[in-house]
Amino acid sequence: MLKNIVIAMLLVMVSFGASARDLDAILDSGTLRVGTTGDYKPFSFLDEGVYKGFDIEMAELMAEAMGLNLELVPTSWPTLMDDLKTDKFDIGMSGISRTITRQLQARYSHPYLTYGKTPLIHADNVDRFSSVEDIDQADVRIGVNPGGTNQAFVDMTFSKAQVIVIESNLEIPPAVARKDVDVMITDSPEAIFYASNDDNLVAPLADSPFTISQLAYIMQADAERLQDTLNFILDSMQLTGELDDLRLTHKLAQ
């Protein structure tokens, strides 16, 4: 009987997840832990083993503003929320979309970028794909990475096209450039980034995306003071123009 009670209590504890470190605990530790996927240009990507991107620079600036060292914690899109809820990191920073599903489990900072889902295609197909209907054809191959909002949008929107799951998000734009797949559905900043760096790629609908959403930083549901601190830093950077300068540096606008 006692054994069953103990097991039941453990199951309840697991179901609620670990509590977030409060702000005092983070400050006392001397380290801000930031979870990042390392597979999403221009926000977070690995370059010869070194994390780079807009959100990596933002993480560095936020840690510096708080007087903390930065620890980058690897995560993935399929495990992002579980890793957050089990306290593997304090903040998720990796070009993370605001969704109601995530909001019900966690809390977000103020949004820092508005974007939409849009196709990245080969330049040879610029006149072929101008709508959802053009893409949703049986002979069209859509490359998508698993576990994130790209896959959710593709699964919800396209019923006829062939959906090809490619584990690494970084491998999909090269696959489009090689014509191994016809379309990548992704967030407009990523599509703009790749189109500006490869003459074989274009993002013809980036200014009129299929959806409108926002990116923000994510924390555990009980991390209210940490959220306030991030929002303060974001507001300050917006006032000084530092946030706009960083967006331009990372080509987050055409």
Q: Which residue has the tokens 């709508």?
A: 131
Same domain, 171 and 198: yes
104 and 130 both lie in a single domain = no
Instruction: Please report, for the domain that includes residue 103, its CATH number.
Output: 3.40.190.10
Q: Are residues 162 and 82 in the same domain?
A: no
Decide if 254 is inside a domain: no
Residues 147 and 96 in one domain: no
User: Tens digit of pLDDT for each residue in 73-119?
Assistant: 999 999 999 999 999 999 999 999 999 999 999 999 999 999 999 99
Instruction: Record the tokens describing residue 218, joined without a space.
Output: 């994510």
Contact criterion met (CB below 8 Å) for 89 and 83? yes
Alpha-carbon distance values, 103 to 7, 106, 220 (Å): 30, 5, 10
Q: Are residues 76 and 146 in the same domain?
A: no
209: in domain:
no
Q: How far apart are CA 132 and CA 217, in angstroms?
A: 29
- For 65, the domain range is 11-114+214-249
pLDDT at 236 over 70: yes
Does 16 map to a domain? yes
Return phi, psi of residue 20, to 5°.
-70, 150
Distance CA 50, CA 6 (A): 44
**Residues near 250 by Cβ (< 8 Å), separated by ≥ 6?**
42, 43, 53, 54, 57, 193
pLDDT bin (cut points 50, 70, 90) of residue 253 is: low
Position 6 in a domain: no
Contact predicate 226/20, CB 8 Å: yes
- pLDDT bin (cut points 50, 70, 90) of residue 17 is low
Per the DSSP assignment, residues forming a β-bridge with 183 are 121, 142
Total-model pTM: 0.79
Residues 138 and 67 in one domain: no
pLDDT in tens, 25-36: 999 999 999 999
47 and 71 co-located in one domain = yes
- Number of domains the chain contains: 2
Is residue 164 located within the same domain as residue 72?
no
